[in-house]
Structure formats: C-alpha cells, structure tokens
Amino acid sequence: MLDHETIRTFIKVAETESFSQAAAVLHKTPAAISYRIKTLEEHVGTQLFMRTTRTVNLTLAGKHLLEHCRQWLSWVDAMPNELQQINAGVETQVNIVVNNLLYQPHVAATFLAWLHQHFPFTQFQLSRQVYMGVWDALLYDDFHLAIGVTGSESLSNNISLHTLGEISWLFVIAPNHPLALNEEKVISEDRLRRYPAINIDDTSRTLTRRVAWLLPGQKEIKVPDVSTKLECHLKGLGIGFLPANICQPWIDSGQLITRQVERARQPSQLSLAWKSAGSGKAIREIVTRFQHHDEAIRGFLENIDRPAGYIP
C-alpha cells in the first residue's frame, strides 16, 4: 500500500493538516484522499492521524512514517540521476580524511561546494585527523582518500601517493616567556625541559602513535588541534614547534618570537593518498586537481611552504 501516490498523498495531508486542502493541491476529491489514508491506516494496522471536526494532526506513528516517507520520496526522485551517475563510473559515496595541519573550515567548505557542484549525487564525508590518525583512517576505516598522510612512501600496496610537499617547523614562544630572555644562541635541552611542551594528540587507534616533540622528563600539555596549540603559545603557556606558514603572521606582528634550539624539528613531508582499487571518477578528478594545484584544492596547500612540483 505504500506506493508512490499513497506516499505523496500522506505527506500532503500531513503538511496541510487538511484532507480538503490536500485534495485541492493534488487535484483529487476529499473523499478520494480520505479513502486512501483510511486504506493506508488499515494496511499498517495503526492510526496515523488524529481527526476532529476542524483539525487533522499526526499521531506519533504518523510522525515517524512522515520522516521516512520524505526520505523515500527524495531517494526515488533522485534515483534516475544516481543510476546514470553509477553507470558513468562516479562513486555513490566518497569519504575523505584531512590532516589537521592542512585543515581550515573555509577551505573545507570551498572544497565540498566544488565536489557537490561536480558530483551532485555523490555522498561526501569529510573527517579531520592528526598525525598517524590520517593513515589509520585510510587503512582501517571506510575512507577512500586522504589529504596529508605523513611521508612519501605508501604503507600499503593498495594505496597510491602523490607528494604534496613539506611543512617546515619553527620553535616559537611568546615574547613574555622566560626563554625569551635566554642569552644562549642555541637553547639547551636542559633549559627547554623546564617548560611544558604543547602537543596535539595523535588520533591513531591502530597504528603506533607519534609524539611531535617532547624531551625526557618534560611536562606535556595535549590539545585537540593546531588552532588551540597556537593560542597556547600566544598565551605563553608552553613551548614547542609550529608550522612556519601558520605562525608567520604572529611572528611578523611580534606576538610570537623564534629561537634556535638543540635538535630542531625536521621538515615533515606530506602526501595525497588514495585507494587504488575501486576508485571512480570523483576520486580520480580530485587527484588530478591536486596534481595541477587547481583552485578548488589550493587552500589545502597554504601551510605547505615547500610544495612539490605539479603537472602544468
């Protein structure tokens, strides 16, 4: 009994709260509308509407059915285009994970808008992870493409890579931090370990987690993302390294200062990674955009100060 016409009738009665108004919209008689709803209620074995002489309101069961009917109707209406897209080799679902170092809300929104415009019937999911958590999501969760895995070598034969470039790190502190008065050209580890290291916690659940920078015996303060880490540095809470491109504006304004330290953090190489098997047109198009440094994805490369070469 839940055929296309019955579902449309049920939705319209629920929206108008009137058999007569629904009949006028659907170009039916009120008696025909009433009969169809009565037959539906008999079929499902429960009352869907509370009727009075003036009102027609959904029961709890009716509200539940309305939610599912709207989803079903939307799915049916979109189905022809979805089927055409599938036959054209476009994925129905693409899950993407982004390294926290490359993630910015406005960049993510721009990217998702571009994806929706070019692949309107594909469902997209975007996640943000830290360090080995990016690899973890790609290898062990249902993610198809990762923006910013660490390294330039794949951890699996089924994963393809395209090198994005390097992120350089600067040791930064607030101007009022005690280390700012240090007269040593290179600050020793003995002095550094007196102050807390501000680190972002690795989100990997399966692979071995990494610690960005921490000296033996040093206190560690863990934060969820690079924005919080930056704020902690600005407030003089602790010490550590930040990506050069992220902290440079605060260095230019004098809100942060740089210092040389023993065993400075080496540049981090990041890559685009995707599952080779089962990749459709959407994933292949994303990869091509990264290879050409296209405007749609360029925002993800803002924090990379040594970008890899690209195909002209």
- Residue 107 is assigned to a structural domain of this protein: yes
pLDDT of residue 1: 63
pLDDT of residue 311: 46
Q: How many CB atoms lie within 10 A of CB 120?
A: 12
Residues 128-132, mean pLDDT to the nearest whole number: 96
Q: How far is CA 224 from the centre of its chain?
A: 15
The answer on 242 and 206 residing in a single domain is: yes
* Rounded CA separation 21/16 (Å): 6
Please name which of 305, 310, 309, 304 lies closest in space to residue 288, comparing C-alpha atoms. 310
Give 133's pLDDT tier (boundaries 50, 70, 90). very high
Residues 156-179, mean pLDDT to the nearest whole number: 94
The answer on 245 and 292 residing in a single domain is: no
* Rounded CA separation 121/112 (Å): 13
> Vertex 9, ends 54 and 81: CA angle to 5°?
145
**Beta partners for 221?**
198
Residue 120 CB partners (closer than 8 Å, separation 6+): 81
- Residue 312 is assigned to a structural domain of this protein: no
The answer on 126 and 254 residing in a single domain is: no
Q: Which domain holds residue 150?
A: 93-166+268-307
The answer on 190 and 246 residing in a single domain is: yes
The answer on 223 and 74 residing in a single domain is: no
The answer on 233 and 99 residing in a single domain is: no
Residues 162-173, mean pLDDT to the nearest whole number: 95
pLDDT in tens, 179-228: 998 777 899 999 999 999 999 999 999 999 998 899 999 999 999 999 99
Please name which of 179, 169, 138, 180 lies closest in space to residue 283, comparing C-alpha atoms. 138
pLDDT of residue 312: 44
Please name which of 214, 169, 175, 181 lies closest in space to residue 195, comparing C-alpha atoms. 214
Residue ranges in 45-196 assigned as alpha helix (H): 60-87, 105-118, 132-140, 189-192
The answer on 52 and 176 residing in a single domain is: no
pTM of the model: 0.75
Domain total in the chain? 3
> Vertex 250, ends 246 and 100: CA angle to 5°?
25
Lowest-pLDDT range, 27-31, 80-84, 141-145?
80-84
CATH number at residue 187: 3.40.190.290
pLDDT in tens, 265-304: 999 999 999 998 878 899 999 999 999 999 999 999 999 9
pLDDT in tens, 2-52: 788 899 999 999 999 999 999 999 999 999 999 999 999 999 999 999 988
The answer on 281 and 149 residing in a single domain is: yes
Output the six-digit token pair for 143: 């993610």
CB 203 within 8 A of CB 130: yes
- Residue 195 is assigned to a structural domain of this protein: yes
> Vertex 296, ends 165 and 86: CA angle to 5°?
110
* Rounded CA separation 100/113 (Å): 20
State which amino acid sits at residue 249: P
